[in-house]
């Protein structure tokens, strides 16, 4: 059973996406950030099996500055807000889990972007504060 952090009075400050400096490289050597999910990777959804049992903690979170453009796609939008879950992945399974999620989103090994999705670094809000995280966004969404 998941225990959720309650979301109260979270800031809606707009935060721009920043692509990690390791644009093309080894997943094992990249910054180990939590993963913010908003679609089929969420608890109870059909792709959650890719992260099930591979995280230490999960929190409800909000991503300001983004909005849904389709049911399973988000892109930058100044006054947008996306609700989701923030997964703190286990260190020993981190690279394997990110590779599996990248593959699901059509991103080839060693890359951060595919034909539809791009993995970017963002800041999300939780009741416990702000966290830098990875999220999959529309590949056409502008990078900072």
Q: How confident is the model at residue 132 (pLDDT cuts 50, 70, 90)?
A: very high
- Flag whether pLDDT at 103 surpasses 70: yes
25-29, 30-34, 39-43, 76-80: range with lowest mean pLDDT: 25-29
Element (H, E) at 126: strand 117-126
Task: Output the domain CATH number for residue 133.
Answer: 3.10.490.10
Task: Answer whether residue 128 is part of any domain.
Answer: yes
> pTM of this prediction?
0.80
User: What is the total count of domains within the chain?
Assistant: 1
Q: What is the pLDDT of residues 42-97, one digit of tens each?
A: 999 999 999 999 999 999 999 999 999 999 999 999 999 999 999 999 999 999 99
Kindly state whether residue 13 falls inside one of the protein's structural domains. Answer: no
Per-residue DSSP letters for 65-124?
EEEEEETTEEEEEEEEEEEEEEEEE-GGGHHHHHHHHHHHTTPPTT-SB-SSEEEEEEEE
Task: Output the furthest CA–CA distance in the chain (Å, rounded).
Answer: 39
Q: Is residue 22 part of a domain?
A: no
Is residue 64 a part of any domain in this protein?
yes
Domain that holds residue 99: 27-138
């Amino acid at each position: 059973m998941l225990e959720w952090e309650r979301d109260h009075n979270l800031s809606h400050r707009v935060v721009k996406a920043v692509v990690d400096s390791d644009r093309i490289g080894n997943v094992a050597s990249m910054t180990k950030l939590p993963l913010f999910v908003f679609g089929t990777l969420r608890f109870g959804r059909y792709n959650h099996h890719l992260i099930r049992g591979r995280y230490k903690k999960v929190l409800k979170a909000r991503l300001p500055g983004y909005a849904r453009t389709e049911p399973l796609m988000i892109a930058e939008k100044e006054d947008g807000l996306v609700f989701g879950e923030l997964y703190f992945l286990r260190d020993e399974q981190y690279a394997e889990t990110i590779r599996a999620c990248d593959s699901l989103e059509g991103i080839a090994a060693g890359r951060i972007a595919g034909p539809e999705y791009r993995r970017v670094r963002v800041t999300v809000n939780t009741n416990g504060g702000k966290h830098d995280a990875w999220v999959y966004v529309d590949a056409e969404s502008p990078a900072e």
